[in-house]
């Protein structure tokens, strides 16, 4: 909706596709923040700017919206883990203002997955009497929009019902430039491929990989007790024989809705390329079939 258009085939997307899109967008947003916005702010201020503050106005939040938020908790959990591992100490503060009572329950479910030190930077504030003194103390008035008691009329304020696409268009332009520079613009745009595995059965996914490549593979499950292993079979110079290198030993995924990522760089030790082999087993199930989503991509190691 941010771009006033719906992706083709959206109605047929699985939860794994929605999860993949959400996380991909989140990573784009953080990369844009750290490589573009913070760099411009540092140059303009003449000093290092390496933190950001979020003010989220929950005016108009409905019970239905809070129910949808609960549904998205799994996604927020994944992005929170990503932020804490890959983008630590970027958050200066997060302020929820005009927070309705119905927000406190989903927030209680979300807060337990957030690092305790990060939780100290997050504030739930009520109406104007609650948030205005806090914002006035923490921000110069010229940096705040008038709707929050400031004097700035130039800020781009957007909302769900009437989104303004200016910021998102800038992010899109930045992403396209980056994709073209890396020459892998189409690699991650295809949805994950589903494979249905009957009880007590096994499926094998195989993809050929050229030499001097970096391999990335993803596995997403919607049912527990799926076992998987990943290996790389490379061709030798000795009569065309193949040898197998274990990338991941057989591992049992105990929980549903798990996304697993892995990667492997082909060194000069494998001059003839080879095949990535992913074995998916549903041998622990007595009757139930399960669906696993997967994707294998590769790009030149020189990128």
Q: Each residue of 62-115: pLDDT tens digit?
A: 777 777 666 667 777 778 878 877 787 888 889 999 988 888 877 877 787 788
Task: Take residue 278 and report the two structure tokens written for it.
Answer: 């992913």
The average confidence (pLDDT) of the chain is: 79
Check pLDDT > 70 for residue 125.
yes
Distances (CA, A) of 127 to 42, 91, 130, 137: 33, 23, 5, 16
Q: How would residue 215 be classed by pLDDT, with cut points 50, 70 and 90?
A: confident
pTM, rounded to two decimals:
0.54
Evaluate whether 68 touches 106 at the Cβ level (below 8 Å): no
Highest-confidence segment of 74-78, 189-193, 194-198:
194-198
Q: What pLDDT is recorded for position 165?
A: 63
Top pLDDT among 298 and 279 is at 279
CA distance 31 to 80: 15
Nearest of 254, 303, 244 to residue 279 by alpha carbon: 244
CA pair distance 133, 149, nearest whole angstrom: 10
Higher-confidence position of 83 and 229: 229
Q: Report which of 178, 192, 190 is spatially closest to residue 27, judged by C-alpha positions.
A: 178
Residues present in the chain in total: 303
């Amino acid at each position: 909706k941010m771009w006033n258009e719906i992706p083709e085939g959206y109605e047929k997307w699985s939860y794994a596709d929605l999860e993949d899109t959400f996380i991909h967008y989140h990573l784009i947003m953080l990369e844009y923040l750290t490589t573009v916005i913070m760099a411009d702010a540092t140059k303009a201020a003449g000093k290092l700017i390496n933190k950001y503050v979020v003010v989220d106005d929950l005016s108009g939040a409905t019970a239905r919206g809070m129910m949808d938020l609960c549904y998205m908790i799994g996604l927020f959990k994944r992005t929170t883990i990503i932020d804490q591992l890959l983008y630590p100490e970027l958050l200066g503060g997060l302020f929820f203002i005009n927070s309705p009572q119905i927000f406190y329950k989903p927030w209680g479910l979300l807060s337990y997955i957030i690092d305790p030190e990060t939780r100290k930077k997050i504030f739930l504030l009520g109406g104007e009497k609650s948030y205005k003194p806090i914002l006035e103390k923490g921000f110069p008035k010229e940096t705040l929009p008038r709707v929050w008691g400031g004097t700035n009329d130039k800020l781009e304020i957007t909302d769900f019902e009437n989104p303004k696409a200016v910021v998102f268009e800038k992010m899109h332009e930045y992403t396209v430039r980056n994709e073209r520079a890396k020459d892998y613009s189409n690699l991650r745009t295809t949805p994950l491929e589903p494979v249905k595995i009957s009880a007590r059965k096994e499926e094998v996914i195989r993809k050929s990989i050229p030499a001097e490549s970096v391999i990335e593979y993803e596995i997403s499950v919607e049912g527990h007790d799926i076992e998987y292993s990943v290996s790389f079979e490379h061709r030798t110079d000795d009569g065309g024989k193949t040898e197998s290198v274990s990338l991941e030993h057989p591992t049992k995924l105990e929980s549903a809705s798990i996304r697993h990522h892995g990667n492997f760089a082909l060194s000069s030790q494998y001059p003839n390329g080879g095949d990535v082999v992913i074995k998916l087993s549903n041998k622990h199930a007595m009757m139930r079939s399960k669906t696993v989503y997967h994707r294998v991509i590769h790009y030149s190691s020189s990128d």
